[in-house]
Amino acid sequence: MDMDLIPAPVRVGDQGRCGFVLDPSTTITAAPGTETTERWLRATLGAAFGLSLAPGGEGAARAIRLRTDPALEPEGYRLTTQPDESVVITGGGPAGVFWGAQTLRQLLGPEAFRQAPVNDGARTGFGFTDIEDGPRFPWRGMMLDVSRHFMPKTDVLRYLDLLAAHKLNVFHFHLTDDQGWRIEIKRYPRLTEAGSWRSRTKHGHRASELWDETPHGGFYTQDDIREIVAYAAARHIRVVPEIDIPGHSQATITAYPELGNTDVIDTTALSVWDNWGVTPNVLAPTDTTLRFFEGVFEELLELFPAATSPFVHVGGDECPKDQWKQSPTAQARIKELGLADEDELQSWFIRHFDSWLTARGRRLIGWDEILEGGLAEGAAVSSWRGYAGGIAAAEAGHDVVMCPEQQVYLDHRQDGGPDEPMPIGYVRTLEDVYRFEPVPPGLSEEAARHILGTQANVWTEVMQNRARVDYQVFPRLAALAEVAWSALPASEDRDFAGFERRMATHYARLDALGVDYRRPGGPLPWQRRPGILGRPIEGAPPLV
């Protein structure tokens, strides 16, 4: 039985009993622990089909019955239709029930993804169904960079819905960088007063000569953050907040110049960066800096509760050491601590926050540069420069999220044609992403257990609005979702033709959701950006 589900379920039964009917008499029967899914179904399917989906008794016919069964894996579920035209979703836990509800929505057709009914009063439903399903990886995510181009709160909430629709359960929220600080910290108001906007923006790649002279900025208030976190939690999505330190910190130093290497440059002359790339302006390795960021993280932990955000991302990537090499303060600290070099100084900096977060019941995660100079004990690694950092970390007993830029950076172009807007990096087609394998061959069985999963990373230097983000992210995020969820065969044996056929149905769902995805035939005329320079890299990406 083929129902064009994405991601593909583990098992689909094919017995020929009755199916499910959704009409004005349909009710929802929700067992304890399934309330978030009950509310979600009423809000989404109720709106899409104009139905009340009232609470029903256990014996009611034409019901959606939500249950839990601890014999199943927590995120696993079973979806079965019954002779009374009801459907039963049984999850191993609340999250499993929710993922089962996502499957139910797909089974009801593209109309289920609309916000108001297009066929008033019509009955809908599907034939007999018996699905057993559960995820391959516990970490299935997307990182969204809102620093380079700010994304308003409503667009962030929309992306949480899009993640949920694809059974993705991690939202990595890249909140700070050289080009803007995006989260209100009450004890440090200048982070948003001065650090959340820049006077202009480079249009295209950093080699482009085009500028958008409109000041760009924005930030999330603490109540905005609480709303985003609550919205994610209701969709069983973890939020991983990222405060990028000690590099990628020019916006921070602009707001509070004493945090920079004041003995090397005049930090009061800095402004929030309006260009792309890696700036030399990094944090000073001083007690002042440590205390400042402890204050930031204290407020952060209140906004991102442990239940939703067990991991806190501290960046740690692309931190040039030039200023530290020239700084008498940094050199004195290296000597005082008995460190070998500047790499070990960064490691000391990261380890400080690893201990600080661990003492408060959280886990530090950082980009794979945190391996340099010795990895902080207990830290997890986002392996972005390739597989190598993740392999080294996993073999050393550290948990890893595989997100190599050569494979799953969705800012990289989707086609080699001349019409791709602002083409960046390697060509990564829908098929390339579908054939991505998060667990590298040759990894020992013990090390493989440390691969938590995978995520796609969305860096927004050349994505100035939601439509551009949609174009770069979709449809490739659907392929990544299947890689993360489904037990697929080896890369070369995957049935991409079958996936592509299922995508024909999935495009109709994305249309109903209003997603500005890249069409299989290429960009639509208004999706092109002629004359705006990118940085395409030719050839196949290396496996590193």
Q: List the catalytic residues.
A: 177, 248, 318
**Residues whose CB falls within 8 Å of the CB of residue 78, separated by 6 or more in sequence, listed in order:** 69, 72, 88, 89, 90, 100, 130, 131, 132, 133
* Residue in the structure block whose two tokens are 């794979």: 368
DSSP labels, 264-306 = TS-GGG-----S-S--S--B--SHHHHHHHHHHHHHHHHHS-T
* Secondary structure of 476-508 as H, E, C letters: HHHHHHHHHHCCCCCHHHCCHHHHHHHHHHHHH
CA-CA distance, 369 to 382, in Å (whole number)?
9
Sign for the pseudo-dihedral over CA of 198, 241, 205, 531: negative
Q: Which amino acid is at 203?
A: H
Alpha carbon 506 to chain centroid distance? 20
User: 495 with 503: CB under 8 angstroms?
Assistant: no
Beta bridge partners of residue 142, listed in sequence order: 171, 456
Query: Coil, strand, or helix at residue 68?
Result: strand
E strand map for 25-178:
27-30, 63-68, 77-81, 87-91, 124-126, 130-133, 139-145, 170-174, 176-177
CA-CA distance, 75 to 444, in Å (whole number)?
26
CA-CA distance, 536 to 414, in Å (whole number)?
11
User: 27 with 63: CB under 8 angstroms?
Assistant: yes
CA-CA distance, 525 to 505, in Å (whole number)?
23
Structural element, H or E, at residue 49: helix 35-49
